Structure 1
Amino acid sequence: MSGPDFPFLFPFQSSPAAALADMTRIDRDALAGFRALAGRMDGNGPRYTSYPTADRFHADFPEAAYLAALDDCAAAAPAPLSLYLHIPFCDNICYYCGCNKIITRDHGRSSQYVDYLVREMALVARRLGASGAGTKRAVMQSHWGGGTPTFLDPSEMQRVMAALDKHFKLLPEGEHAIEIDPRTVDDARMVLLRNLGFNRISLGVQDFHPEVQQAIHRVQPFAQTRDAIFAARRLGFRSVSMDLIYGLPHQTTDRFQETLDRVLMLMPNRISVYSYAHLPHIFKPQRRIDTAALPAPAEKLDILVSTIERLTAEGYVYIGMDHFALPDDDLALAQRDGRLQRNFQGYATHAGYDQLGFGVSSIGSVAGRYVQNARTLDDYYAALDANRLPVSRGFEMSADDHLRKTVIGELMCNGTLDIPQIEARFDIDFADTFRTELNDLDTLATDGLLHRHPTHITITPLGRLLVRRIAMVFDRYLREAEPVPLRYSRVV
C-alpha cells in the first residue's frame, strides 16, 4: 500500500531475521553513503545506554524512592539481577578520560573504599531480603568498571567478591566482566581474576602508536596487552574485549591502520571503537591535550570509515555504533537471535534485568527507576556512615518512557520494529501516538536510512551507521527541549 499516509514505503519482503542480517551487512555502498551524509550532520546525539538519558536524572529523588524500587525488585524475585561496581582509583591520569576517577598511588584509600562498598552491598541486600543463604538473588551479569578495578590489590578484590558471594549468587553461566589495565596485571593477577569467577575481561588500548600514547599520557607497550590477552585465553576466559579511541592527537588514517594490524594479530572477541570528544571545559585533564594535534574532521571520518571497512572485512560483525564482535561471540549470537539489548555498558547480552549499581557515581536501573550514587567519596561515605543508601539523583519512568525505551531499544539493537507487537504490548495506536515521529522518519527514509511499512520499520545498513539519529526521533525529552533537526547527529 502507498498513499498520503505512507509516502515513503518500501515492500517488506523478508523475515525480521533476514532484515537483521541485511542491516548488519556494512558494505561499500553504505560506507560511501555515510561519507556523503557526514557533511550534513549537525550536533551530537545521545548513546541511549538508557532512556530517558542520564542528563534527565534529577536531584529530587530521595532515598525513599530507591527503597521503594528495591521493594518492588524484591517482589519480582526470583528474577536474576545485573550488577555494576564502580572502582574509581587510577595510578595515573589519561588525558582523554572523562570517567569519574581518583588519581592516587595511596592504596590505603582503596582499602577504605572497599569497607564502604561492602557496607552498601549489605544495605541493598537486606532491603531485597537477600541476606540469608536461601534467599540470595541470582546474578546473570556483573561488571566491574572504573577508574581501574585492577588498582585494588588481591586481598581487596577477594574482600569485594566475598561480599558479593555473601549476598548474591553469581551464576556460572552468566557474564562476569572486569575492566583491566594491562599495565597493572601479571600472570598471577590474571589467575586470581579467573579464580574469583570472572569469565570476561575488557581492556583499554586506545592506540598503539608511541606518539599518540605519549600525547594522551598512556604509554602501554604492545607486549603488555598481548601478554594479558594470551593469559586470558590460556586461563579459559570466555571473551576478551578491547577498547580503541579515534580522534586522538597525532592520529592519522594510516597510523590507525597500524594499530588495527596489531589488534587483528590478537583477535579479541569484541572491539569497541569510541569517538574522542574533546571537551576541556568539562574534563580538566583534556586541557593538557594539544588541540592543534587533533585530526581534522575529514581525517577523523576517514579513520572511522576505514576502521569499519577493515574490521568487517576481517570477519567481525558490526553490532552497532562503536561495537564489533566475532561471529561466534555471545554478543553477535544475541544480535542474531534478536536478544541484544542496551544497558549502561553499551550493547549487552543480558540487559533485561534490574541492575544494581554499587560504588561512587554508579548507576542502577531498578523496577522502572534510575538511581545514581553520590559522585564524591565524601558524600558517598557520609551517607553510608548515616546508614543511608548514597543516592544523589534518579528518575522514575512513566508509561510513555517505557514505550519509547522499548521502541528505541528495538531499533538500535535489532534494526527492525514490529509495530503490531508494540501496539498490542502497550495498548496504543502507533500511527496516532507517533504521528510527528513518523513524519520525521519519512524524511530520513528519503536518504536511505530506513524502510517504512505499515507493520514494520526496518533500518538499512546505511541507517545502522547513523542509528542514533533514528533513535533521536523517538526521544520526547530531546524533542521538547529543542526541535529535532531533520538531518543527522554527529557520530564522529
Structure 2
Amino acid sequence: MSNIDLEKFSKYSKPGPRYTSYPTALEFSDNFRYEDYLKYLEEGKEALSLYVHLPFCRSACYFCGCNVVFTSKEEKLSTYIEYLKKEIDILAQHLDTSREIIQFHFGGGTPTFYKAFELDEIISYIKGKFPNWSKDAEISVEIDPRFFNEEQMKVFQKHGFNRISFGVQDFNPKVQQEIHRIQPYELTKAAVDLARKYGINSINVDLIYGLPYQTFESFRATLQQAFSLEPDRLAVFNYAHVPWMKKTMRKFDETTLPAPDVKLQIFQYTIDFFESNGYKMVGMDHFAKPEDELFGAIAKGELHRNFQGYTTKGGANLIGIGLTSIGEGTRYYAQNTKDMKLYEAAIDAGRLPFERGVELSGDDYLRKAVIMELMANFSIDIRRVEKEHNIVFKEYFADALDALEEFVKADLVTLTDEKISVSPTGTLLIRNIAMPFDAYMHQYGGNKKSFSKTV
C-alpha cells in the first residue's frame, strides 16, 4: 500500500457505525413486537445459525464493549445454564427444529469461564433439540487464553468444534496493565498449541489498535508476536472508545490514547505487514491465509458480514440465544434483554427474553445489501443491485453518489456505470465510504455520542 498523508486522512476521523448490522442497533426499538418476532420464527424455512451468549467474566477488561456480567459465584453460572435450557425449549415451540444448522458460535463474556462438564451440558442440550447439523457446519468459540484447559478442549473436540478465536488485544506489558488484562505471550502460545494438538485447523487471533499507551513501535512488536503463533486468521480491530456507554472506559486517561494519525500509521503498517507475510486482507479488519475459504467466498461474491464478523455462511437465519443476544433474519433483527432479572422473568413466564428489534422496510433491505457488499468486498456491482432490486442505481442513490465525490477526487473510490470500487488506501476509510448509503446517518450528525470514531 502506498504511503498515505496521515494528517490529511485524520480529518475523516468522525463517529460512524461499524455496520455489523443495517439498520444499526440504534434503530432497534419496541415498535418491532414480540408477536412479529414469533411470526418470523414460525414461518422461517432457511438454514439456522445459532449464537449462544455466555456473559460471565471474572473481572473487567477496561477496553471491552461487550455485554458482560462480572462474578466469581459458581451458582450464577449454573443458574444461567438452567435458564438457557428453558429458553431453548421455548424456541423449539416456535420454530422448526429440523432446519439444518450450518453455524454455531459461543460468544461472551468468557465462554471458557464455564467448566468442561458445563460446556458439555449446554452443547449436548442444544444438539438434543436441534439434531440436524450440516457436516460442513462452522462450530466456533471465543476463548480467553487465561481461562482455558485441556478438559474444555476435549469437550470442544467431542462436539466437532473447528474454529477457535483467541482474544489477545496486545502483548505489551504496559498496555496490558492499563487495560486490566495481564496475559503473557507464553500463556497465549500454550493455549494456541493446545488447540492445535486437538486438531483445530482454523485459529483466529483478535488484536486491537488504539489502546492506551500503544505506539507504532509497541504495536509492531505485538504484530511480530501474533504472527509467530501462525494463526489462520487475524482480526485487527480499531478500539471503540465509548466511555458514555461503558463505565470501565472512563478509567483511561484519554491523553494516552494514540492520535488518529498514529492509528492510521499503525493500521497501514498492519496491512503491509500481513500482506508481505502471506496473509490477505478480508473486509474491513480481518486477515486470512489465501487458502482460507473466505477467499473463495469473495471470488463468488458470497462473503457476508454479521455480528460475528465476516463469514461464508450467508442465507441462514441467525438465532440469538441468551442474555443480550441478537438474532437476524432476511427482514428483521431481534435482540434479547440485557437485564438478567428481566431475562429470567420472561423465561419463567414461558416467553422468549426478547426486548426489541427492527423490521426492515424495502428501503432498509436494499441499503443493507449495498452497505454489506461494500463492507465485505470493497465494491458494489451496480448492475447486479439494479437487477435484484428493480431500481435505477444513479437515481435511487443520487445523494450518496454526490457524497462519494470527495472520495473519488482523492483517488480512494473509482466510480463507473457498472461498479463502485474502493482503492487499497480507501479501505482504511471503508466505514466513511459506506456512510453515504445510510439513510439514518443524518439523525446523528450533531451527536458525537452515537458511534465510535471511524479513524
- TM-score range normalised by the length of the shorter chain: over 0.9
CA distance in 2, matches of 1:360, 1:366: 19
Cα deviation 1:370-429 (Å, max 9, x = unaligned):
100000110100000000111111000011111111111222212332222211211112
AA at the equivalent of 2:205: M
CA RMSD for the aligned pairs? 1.8
Residue pair 1:70, 1:367 contacting (<8 A) in 2 also = no
Q: Residues 289 and 438 of structure 1: is their aligned pair in 2 closer, same or farther, counting only changes over 3 Å? A: closer
In the alignment of these two chains, the number of paired residues is 450
Aligned to 1:445: 408
Residue pair 1:81, 1:354 contacting (<8 A) in 2 also = yes
CA distance in 2, matches of 1:467, 1:119: 41
* Aligned with 1:142 (options 96, 104, 116): 104
* Aligned with 2:129 (options 167, 172, 182): 167
SS at match of 1:301: helix
* Aligned with 1:202 (options 165, 173, 185): 165
**Identity %, equivalent residues:** 42
Matches within 5 A, 1:51-450: 51-73=22-44, 76=45, 79-130=46-97, 136-168=98-130, 169-450=132-413
Instruction: Give unmatched runs, 5+ long, in structure 1.
Output: 1-26, 131-135
Residue pair 2:13, 2:260 contacting (<8 A) in 1 also = no
SS at match of 1:40: helix
Aligned to 2:6: 35
Alpha-carbon shift at residue 60 of structure 1 (Å): 2.7
AA at the equivalent of 1:311: F
Instruction: Give unmatched runs, 5+ long, in structure 2.
Output: none
Alpha-carbon shift at residue 126 of structure 1 (Å): 1.8
Q: Residues 347 and 129 of structure 1: is their aligned pair in 2 closer, same or farther, counting only changes over 3 Å? A: closer
Residue pair 1:63, 1:388 contacting (<8 A) in 2 also = no
SS at match of 1:33: coil
CA distance in 2, matches of 1:406, 1:295: 34
* Aligned with 1:472 (options 431, 435, 448): 435
Q: Residues 121 and 461 of structure 1: is their aligned pair in 2 closer, same or farther, counting only changes over 3 Å? A: same
Q: Residues 37 and 320 of structure 1: is their aligned pair in 2 closer, same or farther, counting only changes over 3 Å? A: farther
Deviates more, 1:384-393 or 1:61-70: 61-70
CA distance in 1, matches of 2:289, 2:444: 39
SS at match of 2:437: coil
Cα deviation 1:81-100 (Å, max 9, x = unaligned):
11111110011211111111
CA distance in 2, matches of 1:368, 1:480: 22
Alpha-carbon shift at residue 261 of structure 1 (Å): 1.4
Residue pair 2:413, 2:426 contacting (<8 A) in 1 also = yes
Alpha-carbon shift at residue 38 of structure 1 (Å): 1.6
CA distance in 1, matches of 2:379, 2:185: 40
Q: Residues 442 and 289 of structure 1: is their aligned pair in 2 closer, same or farther, counting only changes over 3 Å? A: closer
Cα deviation 1:214-247 (Å, max 9, x = unaligned):
1111111211211111121221113111111112
CA distance in 2, matches of 1:481, 1:185: 41
CA distance in 2, matches of 1:479, 1:296: 26
CA distance in 2, matches of 1:139, 1:151: 25
Alpha-carbon shift at residue 483 of structure 1 (Å): 9.1
Rg bigger for which structure?
1
Q: Residues 458 and 301 of structure 1: is their aligned pair in 2 closer, same or farther, counting only changes over 3 Å? A: closer
Calculate the TM-score normalised by the size of structure 2: 0.94
Residue pair 1:415, 1:458 contacting (<8 A) in 2 also = yes
Q: Residues 264 and 248 of structure 1: is their aligned pair in 2 closer, same or farther, counting only changes over 3 Å? A: same
